[in-house]
């Protein structure tokens, strides 16, 4: 099969909350010879589709409720299964700040509405060019990034050094610094991230430098670089959340609250809210966590662990009804999960709702028959009822 024939067989996923735009883009792709495409109206639905069906190319709108296009982009590029999928961003306006944000998160191309069929065809062609030209620098950088995302850090470091012999591109130094950071070789991480910052002070590099300093316990330096990252890329609310996290780590609760409150004032998405809520939970501040977690409208299944922990903390302080709400939410996010059923059983047991405890335990064991704690609690419950 030739490259052109293979391209025509590509399976596209179009993500936009506007139905007319979905129809418009699908028609453009079909007119260009790309006949296989699926349309969804949210990032959450896009991720669900990607788990069930193979996707070769994503076209997504930037502005969508609950999860933005750039948040979907970030999830895709950080997932070992999906990181190679080309991603074309569509937006109503492309400001300098948006360009910076999208490029930092690894977007392969972007178009500004209104868009024409020629623009879409050209953008798709240019993006796919790299896939069929493995000798290009961008192809090699994407391969390096893939190794990093797959956590093959030693292989990535070796391959990255080979690339640097031919081209000392800042993206190569950045990915290598990420690998060293994950290997906890902070000296080497510092060395490589400085190479990036000698070329350009972009927020992703500054954010990584802040993470390195935070891992080293140098909180003042971490705060300094997180602040600069926020200034350079104000649209990325995760930068502000990282600033709040390091404030908490440094014991500066008021400053942390101020950073998180500034996010809350900027129309945060569910992912932002869960990120802040999870941070407060880790700090033992259940009430503060709830202020953010309770605002999440349609959280991702991948965030179920945060809501499960929230339910546990509520149960510990006797807030049973509120805990029950969280476990119901968890079961909507992860139906049939044995951990959720066991924690729900634990909650019902403390509430002295023994029939509901038994049902939850049976559901837990149906999902995981060898769950020892559930088996023990069910035996104890049966014993109790036989003695009543």
> pLDDT tens for residues 12-68?
999 999 999 999 999 999 988 898 999 999 999 999 999 999 999 999 999 998 899
| 8 lies in some domain | yes
| 275 lies in some domain | no
Q: State residue 5's pLDDT score.
A: 47
Distance CA(77)–CA(66), nearest Å, equals 19
Q: State residue 6's pLDDT score.
A: 54
Express each pLDDT in 190-207 by its tens digit.
Answer: 999 999 999 988 899 999
Distance CA(287)–CA(1), nearest Å, equals 59
When pLDDT is cut at 50, 70 and 90, the band that residue 330 belongs to is very high
> Measured in whole angstroms, how far is the alpha carbon of residue 326 from the centre of its chain?
21
Cβ atoms of 100 and 203 closer than 8 Å: yes
Q: What is the DSSP letter of 183?
A: T
| 282 lies in some domain | no
Express each pLDDT in 149-189 by its tens digit.
Answer: 999 999 999 999 999 999 999 999 999 999 999 999 999 99
| 88 lies in some domain | yes
Mean of all residue pLDDT scores within the chain = 93
| 7 lies in some domain | yes
Q: State residue 97's pLDDT score.
A: 85
| 62 lies in some domain | yes
Distance CA(181)–CA(77), nearest Å, equals 18
Express each pLDDT in 143-155 by its tens digit.
Answer: 999 999 999 999 9
Given a cut of 80, whether residue 132 has pLDDT beyond it is no
| 125 lies in some domain | yes
Distance CA(34)–CA(43), nearest Å, equals 22
Distance CA(312)–CA(60), nearest Å, equals 37
| 50 lies in some domain | yes
Residue range of the domain that includes 17? 3-132
Beta bridge partners of 13: 38, 58
When pLDDT is cut at 50, 70 and 90, the band that residue 9 belongs to is confident
If one counts the domains in the chain, the total is 1
- Residue 55 is part of a domain; what is its CATH number? 3.40.50.2300
Distance CA(47)–CA(316), nearest Å, equals 34
């Amino acid at each position: 099969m030739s490259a052109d024939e293979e391209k025509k067989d590509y399976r596209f996923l179009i993500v936009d909350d506007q139905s007319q735009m979905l129809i418009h883009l699908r028609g453009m792709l079909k007119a260009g010879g790309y006949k296989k495409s699926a349309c969804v109206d949210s990032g959450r639905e896009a991720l669900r589709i990607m788990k069930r069906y193979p996707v070769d190319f994503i076209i997504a709108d930037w502005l969508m409720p609950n999860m933005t296009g750039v948040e979907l982009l970030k999830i895709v590029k950080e997932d070992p299964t999906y990181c190679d999928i080309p991603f074309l961003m569509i937006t109503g306006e492309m400001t300098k700040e948006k360009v910076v944000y999208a490029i930092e998160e690894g977007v392969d191309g972007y178009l500004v509405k209104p868009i024409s069929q020629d623009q879409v065809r050209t953008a798709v062609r240019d993006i796919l060019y790299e896939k069929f030209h493995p000798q290009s620098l961008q192809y090699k950088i994407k391969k390096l990034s893939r190794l990093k995302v797959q956590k093959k850090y030693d292989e990535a470091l070796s391959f990255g050094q080979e690339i640097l012999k031919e081209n000392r591109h800042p993206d190569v130094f950045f990915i290598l610094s990420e690998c060293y950071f994950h290997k906890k070789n902070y000296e080497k991480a510092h060395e490589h991230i400085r190479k990036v910052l000698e070329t350009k002070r972009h927020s992703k590099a500054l954010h990584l430098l802040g993470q390195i300093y935070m891992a080293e316990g140098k909180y003042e330096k971490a705060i300094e670089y997180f602040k600069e990252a926020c200034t350079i890329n104000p649209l990325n609310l995760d930068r502000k959340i990282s600033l709040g996290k390091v404030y908490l780590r440094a014991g500066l609760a008021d400053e942390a609250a101020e950073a998180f409150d500034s996010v809350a004032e900027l129309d945060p998405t569910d992912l932002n809210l869960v990120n802040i809520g999870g941070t407060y939970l880790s700090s033992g501040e259940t009430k503060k966590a709830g202020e953010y977690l309770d605002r999440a409208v349609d959280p991702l299944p991948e965030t179920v662990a945060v809501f499960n922990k929230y339910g546990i903390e509520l149960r510990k302080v006797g807030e049973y009804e509120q805990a029950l709400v969280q476990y119901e939410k968890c079961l909507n996010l992860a139906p049939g999960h044995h951990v959720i059923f066991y924690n729900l059983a634990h909650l019902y047991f403390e509430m002295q709702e023994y029939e509901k405890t038994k049902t939850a335990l049976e559901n837990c064991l149906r999902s995981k028959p060898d769950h020892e704690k559930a088996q023990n609690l069910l035996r104890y419950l049966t014993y109790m009822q036989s003695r009543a």
